[in-house]
A and B are shown apart, each in its own frame.
Chain A
Amino acid sequence: DTGVSQNPRHKITKRGQNVTFRCDPISEHNRLYWYRQTLGQGPEFLTYFQNEAQLEKSRLLSDRFSAERPKGSFSTLEIQRTEQGDSAMYLCASSSPGRPPGQYFGPGTRLTVT
């Protein structure tokens, strides 16, 4: 499978715990994005990497959220001191400035904070 992969697919955690998600983009894609999607809403942009550089960070991303892409390949998204409001689907997407166009999404990690 050469698509975008995400792990874990589901995560249940207690409020206050830290969680970390991983995204492996399509190998030839140099751009990687993180989104959060809650029920009934379209995905909300969180952050964007070009290679290993984090170029954009949404105002939605509080200090409890951090993302890295250390070698310009896979990325991790960490949420510290989780809150119930963090419960959502976290989507990763990748793209390349060349063709084909568009961002290609992974299956997502569903986070439930109890």
Chain B
Amino acid sequence: EDKVVQSPLSLVVHEGDTVTLNCSYEVTNFRSLLWYKQEKKAPTFLFMLTSSGIEKKSGRLSSILDKKELSSILNITATQTGDSAIYLCAVVYGGSQGNLIFGKGTKLSVKP
């Protein structure tokens, strides 16, 4: 069965901490992995990863894919209260871009 597993499911940190969120997957014919941030409403796109070992960066957020380990990590440095959200990992697989499966997400709470 195709699946995406995120860990931890929830995390509480203090402002200024660095966090690492994990995503592992088991799918047929992997195509790409996406990270999203979801606050109160719909997910907003963060990164798309297709190649192993190439880090994507956006400000304090960075992510990397390891196809050998079938996993990805999302790092957030110098966390701020505004980083509090659910971070979703999704994998595109199969023969059509419609095959997208999401993990359950990691709920990050950043305390002042």
- CB pair B99 A107 closer than 8 Å: no
- CB pair A55 B45 closer than 8 Å: no
In the complex, what distance in Å separates the CA atom of A43 from the CA atom of B90? 9
Q: Considering the complex, which residues of chain B in the window 38-55 have a beta carbon less than 8 Å from any beta carbon of chain A?
A: 41-45, 47-48
- CB pair A33 B42 closer than 8 Å: no
Total residues of chain A contacting the partner, CB 8 A = 25
- Which B residues lie within 8 Å of A93 (CB)? 42
Q: Does B101 sit within 8 A of A, measured CB to CB?
A: yes
Interface centre among A33, A45, A97 (most CB of B within 10 A): A45
Task: State whether A107 and B98 are in contact (beta carbons under 8 Å apart), knowing that A101-B48, A102-B34, A102-B48 are contacts in the complex.
Answer: no
In the complex, what distance in Å separates the CA atom of A103 from the CA atom of B100? 10
Chain A window 9-30, contacts with chain B (Cβ cutoff 8 Å), 1 for yes, 0 for no: 0000000000000000000000
Choose from A42, A44, A97, A108 the contact partner of B42 (Cβ within 8 Å): A108
Shortest A59–chain B CB gap in Å is: 12
- Which A residues lie within 8 Å of B101 (CB)? 45
- CB pair B100 A33 closer than 8 Å: yes
- Which A residues lie within 8 Å of B41 (CB)? 107-108
In the complex, what distance in Å separates the CA atom of A41 from the CA atom of B9? 11
In the complex, what distance in Å separates the CA atom of A101 from the CA atom of B18? 26
User: Interface on A for B, CB 8 Å cutoff?
Assistant: 31, 33, 40-45, 47-48, 55-56, 91, 93, 95, 97, 100-108
